[in-house]
Amino acid sequence: MALVDVKGVSKRFGGLTAVSEVDLTVNAGEVHCLIGPNGAGKSTLFKLIVGLYPPTTGSIFFDSVDITAERPYARVQRGMSIKMQAPSVFKELPVRQNIQIALQERLSGAECRAEEERLLALLNLAEDSGKLAGALSHGQQQWLEIGMALALQPQLLLLDEPTAGMSPEETYKTGELIKSFNAEGMTVLVVEHDMAFVRQVAQRVTVLHLGKIFARGSLESILEDEKVAEIYLGKTHAH
Ligand code: ADP
Ligand code: MG
């Protein structure tokens, strides 16, 4: 049932403990949202799960296998795919070619072209497929990168602030896209600030604060938690 199991994981950068003794389970088939104020350690926890950093302490399991010592590439081969916080599409290349590059990992020929069309349509990028990726709006670049992550057909999709810089309408479409992939069986772990988006997609929520798990549970229980409102919603409303 647990696709990802993070056990007692900490990450220190010199004197700063960015992630502290975190236990986190992501169940197969769920959309799990990780929320918390800026600097809470969300992106660091992501990078630990995907293997971009080794943890200072603790272990990480994927599908019951201890992957703590595995490199990112090995984790991708096991079925993880990540979209980092900063978009990293190939801006000098056309949109279509960005998708092709991602698909080439597993498909070729007619199969690759069919999947290319399907993804472009799904991402609302068919009309702009000939444009350079750098000429897209910020929201569209985010979609393109989500598409590149999806092209790997991961078991687990990890998204770090996928809706940053998107309009409310684009944010809503992104939520629907994530839900449609989840309905096909993909497990999703998403870091997000936008509470409307979290409401739209989350089945379970974990709140991180100062590197530690602060609260977890159903969205309803999190929203009712006054301590969460203080650390998270309060700060969000302030800026
Ligand atoms: P969040 O994504 O929740 O905003 P981060 O995980 O990016 O938080 O950062 C958590 C804390 O760790 C912050 O204080 C940040 O400055 C620090 N931090 C993150 N990455 C590094 C790094 N590579 N080196 C040093 N400190 C870092
Ligand atoms: Mg972050």
Q: What is the pLDDT of residues 181-239, one digit of tens each?
A: 899 899 999 999 888 899 999 999 999 999 999 999 998 898 888 888 888 655 544 33
Residue 41 alpha carbon to ligand 1 centre in Å: 6
Same domain, yes or no: 92 and 183? no
- Supply the DSSP symbol for 225: -
Same domain, yes or no: 167 and 68? yes
Residues around ligand 2, an ion, CB closer than 5 A: 42-43, 85
Q: Which atom of ligand 1 is nearest to the CA of 14?
A: 25
Domain of 143?
A: 87-153
Q: Which atom of ligand 1 is nearest to the CA of 85?
A: 2
The percent of residues above 90 in pLDDT, for the chain, comes to: 73
Q: Which atom of ligand 1 is nearest to the CA of 41?
A: 6
β-sheet bridge partners, residue 44: none
Same domain, yes or no: 60 and 115? no
Same domain, yes or no: 120 and 161? no
Same domain, yes or no: 137 and 187? no
Segment 13-35, tens digit of pLDDT? 999 999 999 999 999 999 999 99
Segment 64-112, tens digit of pLDDT? 999 999 999 899 999 999 888 776 899 999 999 999 999 988 899 999 9
Domain tally, the chain: 2
- How many helices (H) and strands (E) in the chain? 10, 10
Q: What number is the average pLDDT over the span 40-54?
A: 95
User: Which residues does ligand 1 sit against, CB inside 6 Å?
Assistant: 13, 16, 18, 36, 38-44
Same domain, yes or no: 20 and 41? yes
Closest by CA to 86, choosing from 160, 19, 149, is 160
Same domain, yes or no: 18 and 30? yes
Residue with tokens 């169940």: 27
